[in-house]
A = this chain, B = another copy of it.
């Protein structure tokens, strides 16, 4: 922790303007570890990934849950004979998350013992006595009629809207879904209006079904963004290819402004000072379910692209990829999940901001969580001891520099704080933020997004997706 403290206490340097502009997505690179593991792995086997100097996955192994390619047809036929559970959009996102090993060492949707440990301890004890972090329940709900349909079968097929089999869940266990308790222990409130609860829990079934998951075909969304959805194994390969000796992850679900960029650039500088030779940034926007007033993934990706094009971040030392998890907005509980999943992707440093995964209280005029609890809970969380937590330093608009800078409490009058709400209001009303708040290309994307919303409200296109 000494290193972390010094990292957040030292004075900042000014952000450097960088000129390279291409997106740092290694799409055409050989993914030796991934390709190899997927080709040679048999059903039920786990693949041990050890790429260079990277942090080990939780449980020592990255658990990928794909049916071996040669077995896919066979499994598809098997699936057709099994009782079927139709997946919602969010269920499918969790299938995606589980299948790629973000939740390693989980082998499928949680059984009751994993669910209870998650709710009560935010962690799971493994057979060898070691503990891994697991703070958010990854569960599949079914209703009475589905439960009856399953009867005594020990396996079920998970199918999409059109009854295409996506995966098989075997050695199943069905147990009660106490929604109230799940919500209270995950969110620390049961107030109506929690987005994930409204979307995925309130109307879900009264039972949960856990078991071992095997995904027949890797989940794809065919939305033009699949190429940005690198799995943990692919990310590990990429970090290894770049000879990264430190990987620092930045989770985001908002447009990147120059304050973020300052933080990320400064973090790299400090890691270099600590003696690392090649720290690589994982800029990792969340790609699953988000609430209605968040900027949609497509627009955010377009905005991030512009930020890289404008040279605000160095593509040589930045990997931009999509984190496929849905968003809970569960503050200190969820930030642990965000951090833990990045360990599995090879990150050994995690940048945590003010009020991570937080939101306003649905009923009261206050934030749902204390803004400092996220980083405090994260720094004490069981199973995350190996991860270096980097607390976010507050950046604000410095009027004396006409740009974003770390806040200097000795001269508060020089700084303007531009909140997410303020930023959105400016973009909606087509006002410009102060020069240097965000690169012009990135800002333009935001304005376009809110424009498209206006058009939709006025009877135009419902949601224009940027190319």
User: Is A155 in the interface zone, CB < 8 Å from B?
Assistant: no
Q: Say whether A121 contacts B382, CB under 8 Å.
A: yes
Q: Which of A123, A178, A188, A189 gathers the greatest number of chain B CB atoms within 10 Å? A: A188
Residue of B nearest to A131 (CB): B382
Q: Say whether A332 contacts B120, CB under 8 Å.
A: yes
Contacts of A373 in B (CB 8 A): 116
CB distance from A455 to the nearest CB of B (A): 40
CA–CA, A188 to B184, complex, Å?
5
User: Is A251 in the interface zone, CB < 8 Å from B?
Assistant: no
CA–CA, A191 to B191, complex, Å?
11
Q: Which of A121, A178, A380 gathers the greatest number of chain B CB atoms within 10 Å? A: A121
Q: Which of A185, A187, A385 gathers the greatest number of chain B CB atoms within 10 Å? A: A185
Residues facing B in A135-155 (CB within 8 A) are: 135
Contacts of A180 in B (CB 8 A): 188-189, 191
CA–CA, A406 to B330, complex, Å?
45
Q: Say whether A117 contacts B190, CB under 8 Å.
A: no
Residues facing B in A84-133 (CB within 8 A) are: 112-113, 116-117, 119-123, 125, 129, 131
What's the interface size class on A, roughly? 35 or more
User: Is A408 in the interface zone, CB < 8 Å from B?
Assistant: no
Q: Say whether A381 contacts B121, CB under 8 Å.
A: yes
CA–CA, A460 to B385, complex, Å?
62
Residue of B nearest to A180 (CB): B189
Which of B181, B191, B380 makes the CB contact (< 8 A) with A116? B380
Q: Say whether A181 contacts B189, CB under 8 Å.
A: yes
Q: Mark A349-367, 1 if CB is under 8 A from B, else 0.
A: 0000000000000000000
Contacts of A131 in B (CB 8 A): 382
Which of B113, B122, B385 makes the CB contact (< 8 A) with A121? B122
Q: Say whether A381 contacts B120, CB under 8 Å.
A: yes
Q: Say whether A125 contacts B380, CB under 8 Å.
A: yes
Q: Say whether B377 contacts A120, CB under 8 Å.
A: yes
CB distance from A189 to the nearest CB of B (A): 5
Known: A184-B188, A382-B382. 17 other contacts (CB 8 A): A113-B380, A116-B377, A119-B188, A120-B135, A120-B332, A121-B122, A125-B382, A129-B385, A131-B382, A178-B370, A180-B189, A184-B184, A184-B187, A184-B189, A185-B188, A189-B190, A190-B190
List residues of chain A with CB under 8 Å of any chain B CB.
Answer: 112-113, 116-117, 119-123, 125, 129, 131, 135, 176, 178, 180-181, 184-185, 187-191, 332-333, 369-370, 373, 376-377, 380-382, 385
A-B pairs, top 9 by smallest CB distance, nearest first, are: A181-B188, A184-B184, A184-B188, A190-B190, A185-B188, A120-B122, A184-B189, A120-B377, A117-B380
- What are 21 of the A-B contact pairs (CB < 8 Å)? A113-B376, A116-B373, A116-B376, A116-B377, A119-B188, A120-B135, A120-B333, A121-B121, A121-B122, A121-B123, A121-B380, A121-B381, A121-B382, A125-B382, A129-B385, A176-B370, A178-B370, A180-B188, A180-B191, A184-B188, A190-B190
